[in-house]
Chain A
């Protein structure tokens, strides 16, 4: 039992970031995202005996996460579900195909942290407002005295820059080796 639990935790911890990403792509409310993630974790544990260890744990877990999101929308009925089944299917396939890129979550996080440290102060402040304080875009615009469009464009540029920086950082680390 203990080994099984430890085995589960290894898998879950490794794919936790991906699960957050899948859930986050469909659910914009932070608390709802966290609730769903917890439910997913419990379902995965309860069904862990059904996992054969041969297939990708990530693909299996993401499938369950999507179902939980669907159930959550079905339950609350506050808003229509943002994605149709075919789009979900396409997105899940894309996650499966790009899973290897996210295989080393710790390294990726470290690379992102490194890149964040090297951002200009103004960009960092914008990210703080958007992600740390969790302000909506129009609230960020209000705080910074900019337009909505300008904030969106600035954030897009920062995300693009961060993405490229993380890729470079990961490549550099691979070249240096462990």
Chain B
């Protein structure tokens, strides 16, 4: 080791806490850009820690001490265990106090401000009044325009948008509340014999499905289908009488939404063996939908339910489902924040972004004319691309830095960008290469248990964009997942319990190659429409709406 080396000298000064802000920033830049410097940092910090331990042994977590701690700790995390200091800290922290005050002010405003009753017959522009971070090329093309002017078309079943920070603005739209959401019945859901399956779902049925097995899942597609059917049999046997499935944490919306999507991967009619449980699940989701259109307060869960609902609507055209989907879509759009994220109960959950992207992409396939959805999709695309690290060839999100997280976030982001028509981008290509460098079996096994919804994104990345370089990799991942199926047909969670959430996710993953059009062909339309500056068409939309003749 050479003390004259400037990098080492800077690291030593860092350890002695002598660096200024600027010097510290320079050191961090060096660590990021030079693996040699980073390794030197690791060596020196190890030595520093060893010196501390040798000269002033800290109360070490010895075998016996830690053993006592472990004996009193629950084997699995029980986050609700009371009192939990971390939760208390968060509850009473300054941020919570600010939020509490903001909520109180909103509550007072809600009752104090007059609420118009008239129903707008026109398409009404709603400004969310937020400033976006610069997003090229949109802002350079339209420097004077507020890019967050959303267009909310009139809804067949009008909705009230409440509980959002922009509530006052949203209320000004003047959309009255429905007295109650109607709940569809099995009788209502009789399939329309004249109804054609939308093109986006065509590969789910008949010979197109068989062809897709050969095209995108050679060697494992047929076996995967058998396994998925057997998994659905198990799912059917565990469905509750209200149409839901429960998760380990007691929730049921996420599990039910993914289960509905899993059944719908076979494009069944509502009365079919796969259709009936899906319909009951959709009916359960209907009971969860609030007046403001949200299925759940968590935007990630709301997106999953919206995706399932969009599939059911696309396949069956259930009565009232269109209005519900409109309301759910509007709620999804209104919850998008200025960074393109959706605030989540799980602190900007990364996998939630994936579901939001897939929900937006499907809605755009079903409603290509929805400008406001296209704008949200373009904004999300921009956000995802900014998270790409070109030096490492992967997607990184703040607070998601562990190896498992890196794989999850990269699979999610590539899958989301593919869904949004950006599968050919350099970011996606490098992201795919990063995933291909990982062990297929390890990744599939890890995701199946610990991050089940990420398994769907992982399969979606390669199954919808089949290639010679990834065929073997995906086949190995599929083999791993198939080998983990229990005799009952289900898949287990991280506690080795048969679990509906994991089983649904695996079925979705094994069906990913038949669920939607392949990225290479049918997305060309979506991609080209997204590639046109959304604000360009959006600006025209605004101008048309504002003109007296409209």
A12:B66 contact, CB within 8 angstroms? yes
Binds A, one of B39-47, B223-231, B287-295, B355-363: B39-47
A25:B47 contact, CB within 8 angstroms? no
Chain B residues lying within 8 Å of A30, measured Cβ to Cβ, are: 52, 58
A91:B49 contact, CB within 8 angstroms? no
B70:A21 contact, CB within 8 angstroms? no
- Chain B interface SS verdict (over half): helix
In-complex Cβ contact of B47 among A34, A77, A113, A159 (8 A)? A159
Chain A residues lying within 8 Å of B53, measured Cβ to Cβ, are: 17, 20, 109
B41:A21 contact, CB within 8 angstroms? no
Per the 8 Å Cβ criterion, residues 50-87 of B in contact with A are 50-56, 58-61, 63, 66-67, 69-70, 73-77, 86
Cβ-based interface call for A175 (8 A): no
Per the 8 Å Cβ criterion, residues 81-140 of A in contact with B are 82-95, 97-98, 101-102, 108-109, 112-113, 116, 127-128, 131-134, 136-137
Interface residues on A, range: 35 or more
Which residue of the partner chain A has the closest CB to B38? A94
| B265 CB, nearest partner CB in chain A, Å | 28
A75:B93 contact, CB within 8 angstroms? yes
- Which of A21, A30, A132, A164 has the most chain B CB atoms inside 10 A of its CB? A21
A89:B401 contact, CB within 8 angstroms? yes
B403:A55 contact, CB within 8 angstroms? yes
Contact with A along B399-427 (1 / 0, CB 8 A): 10111111000000000000000000000
Which residue of the partner chain A has the closest CB to B446? A52
| B61 CB, nearest partner CB in chain A, Å | 6
CA distance A94 to B7 in the complex (A): 15
CA distance A12 to B74 in the complex (A): 17
Chain B residues lying within 8 Å of A87, measured Cβ to Cβ, are: 28, 31-32
In-complex Cβ contact of B39 among A9, A50, A97, A152 (8 A)? A97
| A111 CB, nearest partner CB in chain B, Å | 10
Q: Tell whether A108 pairs with B50 under 8 Å between CB atoms, given A75-B90, A86-B396.
A: yes
| A89 CB, nearest partner CB in chain B, Å | 5
In-complex Cβ contact of A67 among B1, B8, B38, B402 (8 A)? B402
CA distance A131 to B16 in the complex (A): 11
- Which of A8, A98, A157 has the most chain B CB atoms inside 10 A of its CB? A98
A67:B396 contact, CB within 8 angstroms? no
Q: Tell whether A20 pairs with B399 under 8 Å between CB atoms, given A45-B73, A75-B89, A116-B54.
A: no
Q: Tell whether A152 pairs with B41 under 8 Å between CB atoms, given A52-B446, A82-B24, A91-B31.
A: no
Chain A residues lying within 8 Å of B31, measured Cβ to Cβ, are: 87, 90-91, 94
- Which of A5, A18, A86, A137 has the most chain B CB atoms inside 10 A of its CB? A86
Q: Tell whether A50 pairs with B449 under 8 Å between CB atoms, given A91-B31, A112-B54, A131-B52.
A: yes
Chain B residues lying within 8 Å of A21, measured Cβ to Cβ, are: 42, 45-46, 48-50
- Chain A interface SS verdict (over half): helix
Interface residues on B, range: 35 or more
Cβ-based interface call for B9 (8 A): yes
Chain A residues lying within 8 Å of B488, measured Cβ to Cβ, are: none
B9:A88 contact, CB within 8 angstroms? no
Contact with A along B108-146 (1 / 0, CB 8 A): 000000000000000000000000000000000000000
In-complex Cβ contact of B55 among A1, A16, A101, A131 (8 A)? A131
Q: Tell whether A60 pairs with B402 under 8 Å between CB atoms, given A17-B46, A134-B56.
A: yes
A46:B32 contact, CB within 8 angstroms? no
Cβ-based interface call for B494 (8 A): yes
CA distance A62 to B153 in the complex (A): 50
Per the 8 Å Cβ criterion, residues 379-410 of B in contact with A are 389, 392, 396, 398-399, 401-406
B403:A59 contact, CB within 8 angstroms? yes
Q: Tell whether A64 pairs with B32 under 8 Å between CB atoms, given A137-B16, A159-B12, A160-B3.
A: no
In-complex Cβ contact of B63 among A9, A49, A83, A86 (8 A)? A9
CA distance A45 to B41 in the complex (A): 28
CA distance A160 to B451 in the complex (A): 44
Q: Tell whether A163 pairs with B1 under 8 Å between CB atoms, given A52-B442, A152-B12.
A: yes
Chain B residues lying within 8 Å of A148, measured Cβ to Cβ, are: 18
Cβ-based interface call for A155 (8 A): yes
| B80 CB, nearest partner CB in chain A, Å | 14
Chain A residues lying within 8 Å of B1, measured Cβ to Cβ, are: 160, 163-164
Chain A residues lying within 8 Å of B450, measured Cβ to Cβ, are: 50
Chain A residues lying within 8 Å of B86, measured Cβ to Cβ, are: 71, 75
B43:A101 contact, CB within 8 angstroms? yes
A136-B17, A137-B17 are known; give 4 further A-B pairs, CB within 8 A. A25-B48, A30-B58, A50-B494, A92-B401
- In the complex, 11 of the A-B residue pairs with CB atoms within 8 angstroms, ordered by the A residue number, are A34-B58, A60-B403, A71-B86, A82-B24, A83-B28, A86-B389, A91-B42, A92-B401, A113-B54, A134-B56, A159-B44
